[in-house]
Amino acid sequence: MAVPKVRTSRSRRNTRRAHHFLRPRGYSPCPNCRAVRLPHCVCPSCGHYRGRQVMAAGAKAKTAADNFEQPS
């Protein structure tokens, strides 16, 4: 197994980790109702996506986690 010959300094280690921070999510306004939503996703308040009504207004989108059944 490989073993480092020289210890990595704190400066070098922290410089490598400089980009490991979390970035805020990029929200955008819905063109239909101006509510804040994630891009490329159905608007949760009005149910529009790309200019069409694809979901009932205020309805929760069904995800794969909703289909999972807990074992009894």
- More confidently predicted of 68 and 10: 10
pLDDT digit string (tens) for 20-51?
A: 999 999 999 999 999 999 999 999 999 999 98
Where do the structural domains in the chain lie, given as residue ranges?
25-58
Query: For residue 7, how far is the Cα from the chain centroid?
Result: 36
Q: Above 80 in pLDDT, residue 62?
A: no
DSSP string, the chain: ----SSPPPHHHHHHHGGG-S------EE-TTT--EE-TTS--TTT-EETTEE-S-TTPPPP-HHHHPPPP-
Q: What is the pLDDT of residue 66?
A: 66
Give the global pTM.
0.55
